[in-house]
Amino acid sequence: MSGTGDFDLFRTSEDHDDLRAAVRDVVEAKVAPYAAEVDADARFPREAHEALVAADFHAPHVPEAYDGVGADALATCIVIEEVARACVSSSLIPAVNKLGSMPLLLAGSEELKQRYLPPLARGEALFSYGLSERDAGSDTASMRTRATADGDTYVLNGQKSWITNAGESELYTVLAVTDPDAPRGKGISAFVVERSDEGFTFGEPEKKLGIKGSPTRELLFEDVRIPADRMIGEPGTGLQLALRTLDHTRVTIGAQAVGVAQGALDFAVGYVKERRQFGKHVADFQGIQFMLADMAMQLEAARQMVYVAAAKSERDDPDLSFFGAAAKCFASDVAMKVTTDAVQLLGGYGYTSDFPVERMMRDAKITQIYEGTNQVQRLVMARQLLKG
C-alpha cells in the first residue's frame, strides 16, 4: 500500500465539480421532493429513475463503447453521493447498476458486453447482482445454488437472498456452483440471467428498517435454462470474480454513506441555526458546536478515503482491496454516527418523520451491512496487511 500518486485526488477536477453541480440540480428538482413519500409508501422511486435516466446519471460507469457516458470511478461516486444526500433508495439505482454489470466489465466476453451493456446505458434495463443466499451471506463460498451443464445450456436451481432492486431489474449477475466436486470456492461460475427466463421468479418484498424505496427480494430459480454463452468469464472463476467486483463496488457504498451523512449534517446545521432555546439560537451553545465540528471532521475524512479509493479503483491498483474495504467501512461507520447525531441535534423533532434525519439514520444503517459487513471489511483489511 504505497499510497503514491493519490495526492492529486485531494482536489477534484473542474469536470468533477461541474458534474456535482449538475447532479445536485437534478436531485433537488426531481429526487428530493419524493424521498419522504418513497420511504413512507415503500415504493420504487420512479420519478428519480426517470430523472436519472434522462440526465445519464443512472449508469454513468458504462463505457462509451457500449453507448454509455464513460464516467470514471470518482465521477460515478460523486453521482451516487449527491443522490444519496437526498434519497439513499434512489442512489441504489446507479450503485446497483454498477454492481450488477461490473462482472461483465471485468471478465465478460465482448459479445456479452455488446448484448447487455447498451440497454443498461440507455436506461432500458436495470442490472442487479445475486451472490448471497439464506445460509451463505458473509460465507459466500458455501452457496448452494447450482448450475448444471446440459448440452449447450446450464440448468439453474436454488435461490439468492437480499437482492437489491429485485423485480425491477431486467438483468441479473448470478453466482452458482457449476462443479460441486471442486475445492471450496473453486467450482463457482457467474451467469447473466434475464427477468423473462422461464422458471425465474421472485420472493415477496422484504419489510426493512430503511432504504424502503429500493425493493429487496429473493431470486428463485426452478429449472431455469441458461445458454452457456451467458457465462461470465471461465468456468470455476465466479467467486474470484465476485470478490474482484466487490473491491470496486464497495467504494460506491462509501460514496453512498458520505452522501447520506452530508445530507444529515446539512439539515442539522440549518436547524440549529434557526431553533431558539434559553433565549438564543441552539447553534450558539458550545456543546452543539463541538458536535457539529466532529460530524464535519469525520465526514470530510470519510470523503477523502472514498475519493482515494475511487482513484485506485479506476487504475485497478493492487492495493484496492485494502482501500476499498477501508473506505466502505470507515465511511459507513461515520454515516451511522453523523445521522444519529443529527437526530440528537433536532431533539424530539428529530425522532419524527416530519423531518428527514430519522429516515437518513435508518437508511445509513444498511451501509454498514451490505456488500460485506464492516466486520468482514476489517478481515479484508487485516489479511491485506498480513500479506504485506
In contact, 64 and 70? CB cutoff 8 Å: yes
Output the nine-digit C-alpha cell for 37. 413519500
In sequence order, what E strands does 132-211 have? 146-150, 153-164, 171-177, 188-194, 200-202
Residues 6+ apart with CB under 8 A from 242: 103, 131, 140, 175, 188, 190
DSSP 232-257: ESSTT-HHHHHHHHHHHHHHHHHHHH
Cα dihedral 338, 27, 49, 356 in deg (nearest 10): 40
DSSP label of 29: H
Decide: residue 56, CB within 10 A, 0-12 exposed, 13-18 middle, 19+ buried: middle
HSE-up (13 A, CA, CB side) for residue 5: 12
Give the active site residues. 371
| Element holding 217 (H helix, E strand) | strand 216-227
DSSP lists the bridge partners of residue 133 as: 136
The contacts of residue 279 (CB under 8 Å, 6+ apart) are none
Give CA–CA dist 174/96, Å, rounded.
14
Helices (H) and strands (E) in the chain, counts: 11, 10
